[in-house]
Amino acid sequence: EAQVTQNPRYLITVTGKKLTVTCSQNMNHEYMSWYRQDPGLGLRQIYYSMNVEVTDKGDVPEGYKVSRKEKRNFPLILESPSPNQTSLYFCASSLGVTNEKLFFGSGTQLSVL
């Protein structure tokens, strides 16, 4: 089944404790991206990747890192999480750049205490 797999679904952590949210797609998609959803703000793009080893900042990249060492994986890394990073996070992928529809992962609800 074609899908974007994102883990974990729920995560509670404490300020400063490094964490990684994994994202993997099995559709051979070139384009992958991360978004965060906050009440009243809509989905905001954190980082995106056009291909392996090519990543770029979105609108809200501060406090996040990503890597794209393999085409299928695009992990989101929070080196030192802070409470303002408490949010719902989505990974997404698509065949090409933004003229192709996005396939979303199931989301990760992160709480930073």
Partner 1 sequence: ILNVEQSPQSLHVQEGDSTNFTCSFPSSNFYALHWYRWETAKSPEALFVMTLNGDEKKKGRISATLNTKEGYSYLYIKGSQPEDSATYLCAFSSTGNMLTFGGGTRLMVKP
What residues make contact with partner 1 under the rule CB under 8 A? 33, 35, 40-45, 48, 50, 56, 58-59, 90, 97-107
Contacts of residue 83, Cβ cutoff 8 Å, sequence gap at least 6: 15, 112, 113
The span from the CA of 19 to the CA of 64, in Å, is: 10
Closest distance to partner 1 from the beta carbon of 90 (Å): 7
Distance from chain centroid for Cα 82: 17
**Which of 5/86 has CB closer to partner 1?**
5
Q: Are strands 10-13 and 54-57 parallel, antiparallel or unpaired?
A: unpaired
**Which of 55/85 has CB closer to partner 1?**
55
Closest distance to partner 1 from the beta carbon of 104 (Å): 4
**Which of 61/75 has CB closer to partner 1?**
61
Confirm if 27 and 2 have CB atoms less than 8 A apart.
Answer: yes
Closest distance to partner 1 from the beta carbon of 58 (Å): 6
